[in-house]
Amino acid sequence: MERIAVRHLRKTFQLKAGQSVLSDGRRTDRVPVLSGVDLTVRRGEFVTLVGPSGSGKSVLLDVIAGLTEPTSGTTEIDGQTVTRPHPKTAYVFQQYALFPWRTALGNVEYALEVRNVPARERREKARYFLDLFGLRGFEDRFPSQLSGGMQQRVAIARALSGDPEVLLMDEPFAALDAQTRDILQSELLRIWETIGTTVVFVTHSIDEAIFLADRIVVMTARPASVKEIIPVDLPRPRPNDLRNTPDFNAYRARVWEALRDEVRKAQGDWSLASAYAH
């Protein structure tokens, strides 16, 4: 059964007076961002979304999250139209959106406080999720005392502690160094394999998109629609050295092939487009 159904989603931003922008050489105060996105995600599926920078990926996640209203079209979660943030949807951003005045444990507990989980259960659950991410011993540290990778682990632990049915992740590892990123990808998969949450994960790294996904959704340049969906038929659990196999390489070529023209369209510059290739 499908967990998420996005149907003919359109989003045009109406800018306020004096905020007009140049588009195709003309001044306009309407910015079309999504131009008819259709996508379904199965229960427990891990879908990654790639597309040129500025194509509307974050806007799409915001609409699925119920944070932004679409101009037309619908998003359904378990058959119910999303009109506001769904209690069973959690969101992880690129920036570690942690409260600086709360410890790691306090940050994870926060997600449970707002759900009125009793104090004792809250503490146990928060510890459980921090443990899952190897953060035992770091419970009492404040975000400023943690590395970027650890902060993002806390942010994901916090998102998962509310037992979300849908986890939306917007370039959550983009600010991390390459090694930390690879490690976090493996950790996320390991945990996802045990809890089975449905995940929609935006990235601009082709490798990350392949390594994580059951299916990769390639978006067009803005205004965005779905250009191609590429099923990733690689075995799970996925070992780190999967990235060095011929099969993985074949996916790299295939995703880049689908993405290349869109990146060119979006940036009009081949040298910038080639920056996407790694």
Ligand X SMILES: Nc1ncnc2c1ncn2[C@@H]1O[C@H](COP(=O)(O)OP(=O)(O)O)[C@@H](O)[C@H]1O
Which positions lie near ligand X, rule CB under 6 A? Answer: 13, 31, 33, 51, 53-59, 222
Nearer to ligand X, 53 or 83 (CB): 53
Report the nearest approach of Mg ion to the CB of residue 104 (Å). Answer: 26
With CB under 5 to 8 Å by kind, the binding choice for 56 among ligand X, Mg ion, none is ligand X
Max Cα–Cα distance, the chain, nearest Å: 60
Q: Where does this chain touch Mg ion (CB under 5 A) — which range of 26-34, 54-62, 130-138, 160-168?
A: 54-62
The position carrying tokens 């935006």 is 202
* 40 sits near Mg ion (criterion: CB under 5 A): no
Nearer to ligand X, 53 or 240 (CB): 53
* 68 sits near Mg ion (criterion: CB under 5 A): no
With CB under 5 to 8 Å by kind, the binding choice for 215 among Mg ion, ligand X, none is none
Nearer to ligand X, 47 or 146 (CB): 47
Crossing angle of helices 148-161 and 178-195, rounded to 10°: 20
* 58 sits near Mg ion (criterion: CB under 5 A): yes
Crossing angle of helices 148-161 and 104-113, rounded to 10°: 20
With CB under 5 to 8 Å by kind, the binding choice for 48 among ligand X, Mg ion, none is none
With CB under 5 to 8 Å by kind, the binding choice for 86 among ligand X, Mg ion, none is none
Nearer to Mg ion, 161 or 225 (CB): 225
Report the nearest approach of ligand X to the CB of residue 110 (Å). Answer: 26
Report the nearest approach of Mg ion to the CB of residue 62 (Å). Answer: 9
Nearest to 78 by CA among 111, 40, 47: 40
Nearer to ligand X, 53 or 147 (CB): 53
The backbone region for 235, taken as left when phi is positive above 0, alpha when psi lies in -120 to 50, beta otherwise, is: beta
Report the nearest approach of ligand X to the CB of residue 72 (Å). Answer: 16
Nearer to Mg ion, 58 or 180 (CB): 58
Report the nearest approach of Mg ion to the CB of residue 3 (Å). Answer: 22
**In sequence order, what are the residues at sequence separation of 6 or more whose Cβ sits closer than 8 angstroms to the Cβ of residue 96?**
143, 148, 151, 152, 154, 155
Report the nearest approach of Mg ion to the CB of residue 189 (Å). Answer: 22
Nearer to ligand X, 21 or 250 (CB): 21
Report the nearest approach of ligand X to the CB of residue 212 (Å). Answer: 17
Nearest to 223 by CA among 3, 50, 54: 54
- Positions touching Mg ion (CB under 5 A) are 58
